[in-house]
Amino acid sequence: MTSLLSPFQLAGLALPNRVVMAPMTRVRAAAGGLATPSMATYYAQRATAGLIVSEGVQPNAVGQSNPGTPGLHTDEQVASWRQVTEAVHINGGRIFAQLMHGGRVSHPDTTGLHPVGPSAVAGDGDVFTPTGPQPMPVPRVLTTTEAAEQAASYAEAGRRAVDAGFDGVELHGANGYLISQFLSDNVNLRTDRYGGSITNRIRFAVEAVAGTVDAIGAARTGIRLSPGATFWGATDGETLELYTALLAELATLEPAYIHLEATAEDTLLRELRRAWPGTLIMNPVLPMGPEQTDRENADRWLGLGAELISFGRAFISNPDLVERLRAELPIEPVDMATLYQGGDDGYLTYNAHQHPAEAAAVPIAA
């Protein structure tokens, strides 16, 4: 069976192992959506991953979902990211930027703009704002022209990502954010070319990927998907038919990979593996669910045909996760209280494993 620690060629990018650091919101960006020196250190500490996918990065101002998240739509943001990509590359790593447009999952108190979406349907639950959680407002409906413009925003952000030194980008098409909203049968109630039939509901996703492929190349473009998920109240309906049709269209564009989350029954996910002719990154457990990805379910999905396996929370608290997997060392738990609090605590304060001899070593007095 394929080994998790064996090398892999990802559309010409040489990966030393098949361990992917999944995108995870950390809300440590500076004002103006700028990347920081602490972010450079954080990602550089985890550069032994075969591939790092960054936290979600908004492609434009209205696409910001949470406070404290970084952007890729101004020259200042591009410049700030170079310290991150350079640090990862100096440490021997590879990094894609995840482009995440929140769509209706946003709030004017965060962006100063009214959220947009495919239809006038508010998201379920509260969204984070600078003053605490608040209900999501009913979004402003995008016109047909505006929908095309928002799809094109991923391509422009992709160009900026490459300028900032990223090796590529992953479009966030999952978890109830904008691309997922267009795929949804209960959020997307449109009657134009972007709504109604499966062909129309997948159009936004396909245009976003196609535009990014045209802008920076297929080898630098991936997309993350969450079939069957219900994040923020968005459901997709006809899940197998919808995603089979989407994968068929995406296959003609030959992106570097698709990144699937385990948000559906195992049998459906296996069907999508068979339907997808290219590279699959598999996130084997439900994001933010009770279980974390471990070696056992990683090896299982490698056996089912996934080429790469993404690990989420385990990478937060184990910057040396690849070595821990290699040596079968303990995986440290995450301090959930520090996930989104800002600052370096719970961000740069997790250490590499210390072997007993190292832990017992006492410095020699001068």
List active site positions: 177
Q: What is the spatial distance between Cα 217 and Cα 281, in angstroms, rounded to a whole number?
A: 19
Q: What is the spatial distance between Cα 84 and Cα 113, in angstroms, rounded to a whole number?
A: 28
What tokens were used for 116? 């947009």
Candidates 92, 10, 5; CA nearest to 44 is 92
Which residue has tokens 């995603």? 243
Instruction: Name every residue whose Cβ is closer than 8 Å to that of residue 342 and which is 6 or more positions away in sequence.
Output: 27, 28, 68
- Alpha carbon dihedral 183, 188, 194, 200, in 10-degree steps, equals 50
Give how far Cα 195 sits from Cα of 90, 189, 203, Å: 45, 6, 8
Which CB contacts under 8 angstroms, 24+ apart, belong to 123-132? 123/176, 123/232, 123/233, 123/234, 124/232, 124/233, 125/232, 125/233, 127/65, 127/66, 128/66, 128/67, 128/340, 129/67, 130/67
Rounded to 5°, angle at Cα 333 from 330 and 339: 145
Candidates 212, 260, 263, 262; CA nearest to 234 is 263
Instruction: Name every residue whose Cβ is closer than 8 Å to that of residue 316 and which is 6 or more positions away in sequence.
Output: 24, 334, 339, 350
Which residue has tokens 């990602």? 43
- The DSSP H or E segment spanning 246 is helix 239-251
- What radius of gyration do the chain's Cα atoms show? 20
Instruction: Name every residue whose Cβ is closer than 8 Å to that of residue 280 and which is 6 or more positions away in sequence.
Output: 257, 258, 259, 260, 273, 305, 306, 307, 308
